[in-house]
Structure 1
Amino acid sequence: MTSPAAPARLAEAETSVRYRAKRDLILDAAARVINQRGLRGLTFVSVAEAVEMNTTSITYYFKRKELLAAAALERSIQHLTRKIDTAGQEPDPERRVARLLRLALDQNAEERLGTCPPLARLSDMRSLDEPLRSELFASYMTAFRKVVDFFDAPAGAAARELNWARTHVLLDTIHWSRVWLQKYSVGDYDRVHTRMMELFRHGYAPSGSRWSPLPLTVPASDTETEEVNRETYLRAATVTINERGYRGASVERIAGALNVSKGSFYHHLDGKDGLVVDCFERSYDRISRTQRNAMALEGSWLDRLASAIAALTDVQFEAGFPLLRITALMALPRDLRQPILERSDRISQRFAGMMIDGISEGSIRPVDPLITAHCLISSLNSAFDFRVWADHRADRATAVRLYSSALANGMIDR
């Protein structure tokens, strides 16, 4: 005889399945919006239109937009953690790194082919307010520490710290690959995996070569002054956007960093979008001038490349006037975004050109120069987030050398 409670339990189970299915559809739509427009573009209206619901129905699942954003980002961290757990079962560091990279490339391929829903990019976590921001970062750091354990190393604090640097570069390189992989066919991903693993395994510096950067200064500005002007706003905005993301870097917060009024901001600048574009232009000017100054130095092409990388990494660690993280680009309107992406490509191509010259000379290991350049750009961008780690080193030059070694010398101890 059927229990009287059985139909009620069945109905409850069916309701739960429908609830989870609709919630997943909402998170899929939110992830697409975040990836295309950043958290700035995430609204209940944009998500409701994508899932053919009204905004009131969306609030049944997520009371506030911030909770929807946090849930989409948390789902991405959960997927990353599962990939890390799977890769962590491999028997040695090289195969763990290779498996994690393969899983990430497979995920990207499936998203592009439309065979799986998208995952929200994690770069916008910094834009959320507390306590959501700290909660998500705590989840991410749990996953991060698991990747640190990928690397077998001799016992001791120094080895552990080096593996933290390797993990940071590895994960940020994988995160950023989602952007530049759009230039490749999904059918080429096997080759991309092979070339990235060559870089992760051996680095771009030949075995036995020395990291010998020559003194090089990254241009800061054309006009140094103590007065609050457009240049000082660019400095304050760059730091604030790097720390808080586009959405979290409000006009009030940027003005507050300089102890001036919101009105002063609009006296010097037209608006926030224009400010971000100006910050990118300033950052790219500084990178381009540093690259050209490095190319004019004496020495091997490895030494010239090391000089540019060391100088730019040092600026990120010093953090007084860092380079703007390229992840802020995704919050800009598409018409403003494209010219900046094109200039970013030219910077990558210049690094690739330096590598080709070094490969011809014999001072740089034969690597895929463009893929390596993309990885270098990623590591330079994300170095700002690793500045606290750098502050704990005996000196800045040591921190720069250790951090840069992940791509220069490879991540796998032999």
Structure 2
Amino acid sequence: MASPNAVRRRRRGHDPESVLSIAVGVFNERGYDGTSMEDLARALGVTKSAIYYHVPGKEQLLARALDRALDGLLELVADERAAPGPAVDRLERVVRRSVRILVDRLPYVTLLLRVRGNSATEQAALERRREFDRFISRLVTEAAAEGGIRADVDPALVTRLLFGAVTSIAEWYQPARGASADDLADALLKITFTGLRTRAA
């Protein structure tokens, strides 16, 4: 059992960022609904009142965590909406950058992918995620209309399969085992776009 002095040292070492990081780990391990403030306090090595010093409650931690995942994706959307060039090239960039964001923010994206809309916070996150999904769908449709990707495959199906492959990385990727975000993106783009791109593109 940790001594009172050790607990006090840990408490002083926590800031909003470390509280969020540890909380996300617990949410991913136990599920958000299955995590209590007592669970978070135990993982942080502090009292519940010490957590409230940093954050009003569990739902605010969830909101911050989901924003961490979504902000990166929606920044990507804003960049690519303004970007010039063929839609198929922009689509490839979106896939590559999505993989990088997933790897860089893996615990946060993992939590986002498990959200089911059980609270106002989760519903708001899902609506923001749908904005990303709608952008991808339009980009795939545009790429098909331009002749950059095959027109004989339903764009909605392409969108689901392509980004289903991206999001599946969160289920099995382990950063310590070697492959970088660029390695993953290169492999995914080779496998998918070899079949998607037309000869003309």
TM-score by shorter chain over 0.5: yes
Answering whether residue 99 of structure 2 is matched by residue 317 of structure 1, we say no
Structure 1: distance between partners of 2:174 and 2:46: 28
Aligned CA distance change for structure 1 residues 405 and 275 (closer, same or farther; 3 Å): farther
Q: Give the structure 1 partner of residue 168 of structure 2.
A: 382
Give the CA deviation at 1:348.
Answer: 0.7
Q: Which of these residues, 150, 159, 169, is aligned with residue 373 of structure 1?
A: 159
C-alpha distance in 2, partners of 1:381/1:243? 18
Per-residue displacement from partner, 1:41-90 (whole Å, max 9, x unpaired)?
A: xxxxxxxxxxxxxxxxxxxxxxxxxxxxxxxxxxxxxxxxxxxxxxxxxx
Amino acid of the structure 2 residue aligned with 1:228: D
Residues 349 and 370, structure 1, Cα contact 8 Å, conserved in 2: no
Q: Secondary structure at the match of 1:329?
A: coil
Residue 259 of structure 1 deviates from its aligned partner by 5.9
Aligned-partner residue type, residue 354 of structure 1 = L
Q: 1:267 to 1:408 in 2, by over 3 A?
A: farther
Aligned match of 2:133 in 323, 328, 348? 348
CA distance, structure 2, for counterparts of residue 380 and residue 255 of structure 1:
33
Identical-residue share of aligned pairs (%): 24
* Map of 1:293 onto structure 2: 79
- 1:237 aligned to 12, 23, 26, which one? 23
Contact 1:355 1:369 in 2 (8 A): yes
Provide the aligned length of Structure 1 versus Structure 2.
182
TM-fit CA distance, 1:267: 2.1
Stretches of structure 1 that go unaligned for 5 or more consecutive residues are 1-225
Letter in 2 for 1:269: V
**1:398 corresponds to:** 183
Within a 5 Å distance, the mapping from 1:139-150 to structure 2 comes to none
* CA drift at 1:381: 3.2
Which AA in structure 2 matches 1:310? Answer: R
**Deviation readout 1:360-381 (Å, 9 max, x if unpaired):** 2222333433343344444343
Distance 1:250 1:259 in 2: 14
Structure-2 change in CA distance of 1:392 and 1:262 (3 Å): same
Quote the residue 2:67 is aligned against: 281
SS of 1:352's equivalent in the other structure is helix
Alpha-carbon distance between aligned partners in 1 of 2:84 and 2:36, rounded to the nearest angstrom: 44
Number of the residue aligned with 1:228? 15
2:128 maps to a residue whose letter is R
The separation in 2 between residues aligned to 1:281 and 1:256, in whole angstroms, is 25
Q: CA RMSD in A?
A: 3.5
Q: Which amino acid aligns with 1:383?
A: I
Structure 2, unaligned stretches of length 5 or more?
Answer: 1-12, 196-201
TM-score (norm 2): 0.67
User: What is the TM-score of this pair, normalised by structure 1?
Assistant: 0.37
Note if contact 2:88-2:143 (Cα within 8 Å) is conserved in structure 1.
yes
Tell me the distance in 2 between the aligned counterparts of 1:408 and 1:390.
28
